Amino acid sequence: MARAAISGRLTWQLAEAVDVLTETPHVKTIAFDVADWAGHRAGQHVDIRLTAEDGYQAERSYSIASAPNGTRLDLTVVRIADGEVSPYLADELKPGDRIELRGPVGGYFVWEPPQGGPLLLVAGGSGIAPLMAMIRLRAAAGSDVDTRLLFSSRGWDDIIYRDELERLNGNGLTVVHTLTSSQPPDWTGYARLVDAEMLAEVGPSPAERPRVYVCGPTPFAEAVTEALVHLGHDPQGIKTERFGPTGG
């Protein structure tokens, strides 16, 4: 039984936006400062709450995309066209604006350098967020543990954190992309949905007993997990976080 991660009653804390970055045409990262932030583990998320002037409230959950860094935490938001919260966060929110958040939450879908590897991280679209926190933490800790990221995106311009991943590639980290909808003219990489053959090629093999983290929309997570088990990976070694159409 794993030791309890972070305990204690959760309370809503005030978070101030300090920076907004454009990742892709539909995706922004918002950096927040939370005065009494006690830190977080890579893979955890926060629940956020917005209150309108008439008292209406909406809550959503977002994975923390940044490695622990004092009172700062980054959330990556995909703008859903007819959503209620994501268009506000992606288009309206400015540095200085405030939201409430509580967390960090989750002790199951986390990774820390002492846990070692090899690591297999499989991301579908915005599912990259919690895995990016793990990759960033790994880099900050100077870890060279064998880590392979298989990242599924629609097209080249949809790859979230694309440039940073290119910079971090190396030192034991291998980044492999698959582009499922459209590919650049000179593309020689994978151009289909993640399947067993692709996972077998990216590795590590089941015999190496990797720690596997899968994150993305439910159909993606289900297909990947099924393929991994089919290849012989131990189901107990696979942790999954499913993103759903919870609001938008």
By CB under 8 A, name the binding residues for other proteins. Answer: 1-10, 12, 14, 45-47, 49-58, 61, 82-84, 88, 92-93, 97-100, 102-103, 105-109, 217-219, 222, 239-246
Q: How far is the CB of 37 from other proteins (least distance, A)?
A: 16
Q: How far is the CB of 145 from other proteins (least distance, A)?
A: 22
Query: Residue 12's closest CA among 51, 42, 70, 53?
Result: 51
> Cβ–Cβ contacts within 10 Å for residue 47, how many?
16
Residue with Cβ nearer other proteins (206 or 248): 248
Which distant-in-sequence residues (6+ apart) come within 8 Å of 174 by Cβ? 147, 148, 149, 202
| CA 159 to chain CA centroid, nearest Å | 13
Nearer to other proteins, 3 or 142 (CB): 3
Closer CB to other proteins, 36 or 186, in the complex: 36
**Residue number with CB closer to other proteins (102 or 154):** 102
Instruction: Compare residues 106 and 175 and give the one whose CB is closer to other proteins.
Output: 106
At closest approach, how far in Å is the CB of 135 from other proteins? 19
Least Å distance between CB 65 and other proteins? 15
Least spacing, CB of residue 20 vs other proteins, in Å: 14
| DSSP state at residue 89 | I
Phi, psi of 198 (to 5 degrees): -65, -45
Give the C-alpha separation, 124 to 150, whole Å: 9
What is the identity of the amino acid at 99? I
